[in-house]
Amino acid sequence: MVAMSDWVELNIGPHHPSTHGVLRLKARVEGEMVREVEPVIGYLHRNAEKLCENTFFCDNIIYFDRMDYVGAPGMEVGYLEAAEKLLGVFPPERAVWIRTIMAELSRIASHLIWLAAFGLELGMLTPFFYCFDLRESILTIFVEASGSRLLTNYCSIGGVYQDFNEKITDEVEKFVQDAPKKVEEINSLFIKNDIFISRNKGIGVLDKNVAIEYGVTGHMLRASGVEYDVRKAEPYLAYSKVNFEIPTSTKGDNLARYLVRIEEIRQSIKIISQSIKKLPEGPFFNPKAKKSMMIRLRGDGEVYARTESSKGEFGVYIVGDGGVKPYRVRVRSPSLRNLSVMRELGRNVMIADLVSILGTTDLVFGEIDR
């Protein structure tokens, strides 16, 4: 414990170049050392869960788009897993595979944003643009499929908004061919740099037990040595039919988290390349959820569904009272749990390391504050 007079309280955020939007970190610093850090959230609260109660089941997707806005289709999948279970309307085979492809594309898109921002946090300017260059080819697919770059609103209850046509499958195949080379190029910019290694090796070590206690999921848990991924543990969509691995590491430091994420990008590309080959023919929406029928769908009971979003385990809990609108919607945000562990990680580190640790946690505030 440091004497009160030696502290300086340094506010990092809510508007600061490295806080990914609107996080505020109250850091008690002593010279260059951060003794304690307290995250303050709530600056981007939009009441999304409450808004969901006033909207039809089919329209709630847009609020989920705006949660993890860097990888919107992944969030839509998370909501629909729950909503479809409640409404009893399930998508046909082709829509399931299309959703798998979109979810994995959004995972890559989200990871690329993280990689770009992480580079900037460490002072590397160039990888940022390389990441966005690769992300651009994913956004082209999103535009082709849904008409929108960021907030796609592509998946709908009982299927998807629009079928994958020839052009989209070509784009996806092209992406699968080009992406691995580009990912390796970006990776080499980071991993071959001694300063990058020295800034990240052994920094921000998250113990396995601490991670489990805090409910940390996603890459942070896997980097700490727990092989847990909802896609394997409780397969949804078409994940049981494709072949992929869960990258793990036992180190638990920044570098391990970085390596796990890079490997996740590679595995996602692998999933997409398998899915696009296995994409079956057939209808892309359930006739029970035609556009005219959609707002008449009624749900009764409670459901909880979890999916592996790009940040970790994303859970959606919906209560229906037999009406056309949900009675209650609740979201388990992975980023919030990953952020809460900052108190442990941000103890007795340097200011520079605090920023890089914050970088590897990969927070998106749309999802934390909702």
Q: Pick between residue 18 and residue 275 the one whose CB is nearest to another protein.
A: 18
Quick check: 17 binds another protein (CB under 8 A)? yes
Count the site residues for another protein by CB under 8 A.
31
d(CA 177, CA 155): 25
Sheet holding 24-30, edge to edge: 8-12, 24-30, 33-40, 349-350
Give exposure, 60-76, as e/b (b: 16+ Cβ within 10 Å). Answer: bbbbbbbbbbbbbbbbb
The answer to whether 32 and 350 have CB atoms below 8 angstroms apart is: yes
Is the distance from CB of 278 to CB of 181 less than 8 angstroms?
Answer: no
Measured from the CB atom, the residue of 23 and 80 that comes closer to another protein is 23
> Binding another protein by CB under 8 A: which of 51, 62, 189, 295?
189
Euclidean distance between CA atoms 335 and 319, whole angstroms: 23
User: Is the four-CA dihedral 140, 315, 96, 181 of positive or negative sign?
Assistant: positive
For 2, phi then psi, to 5°, come to -95, 145
* Cβ-based nearer residue to another protein, 131 or 279: 131
**6, 47, 54, 123: residue in contact with another protein (rule CB under 8 A):** 123
Contact between 85 and another protein by CB under 8 A: the answer reads no
Region near another protein per CB under 8 A, out of 74-82, 144-152, 210-218, 351-359: 351-359
Q: Does 38 bind another protein (CB under 8 A)?
A: no
From candidates 4, 5, 125, 166, binder to another protein by CB under 8 A? 125
Contact 35, 47 (CB under 8 A): no
- Name the DSSP class of 69: G
Instruction: Please pick, from the candidates 38, 53, 133, 207, the single residue that binds another protein as defined by CB under 8 A.
Output: 133
| Contact between 2 and another protein per CB under 8 A | no
Q: Which of 2, 6, 147, 195 binds another protein (CB under 8 A)?
A: 195
Residues in contact with another protein by CB under 8 A are: 8, 10, 16-18, 29, 31-32, 119-126, 128-130, 133, 189, 193, 195-196, 198-199, 350-353, 355
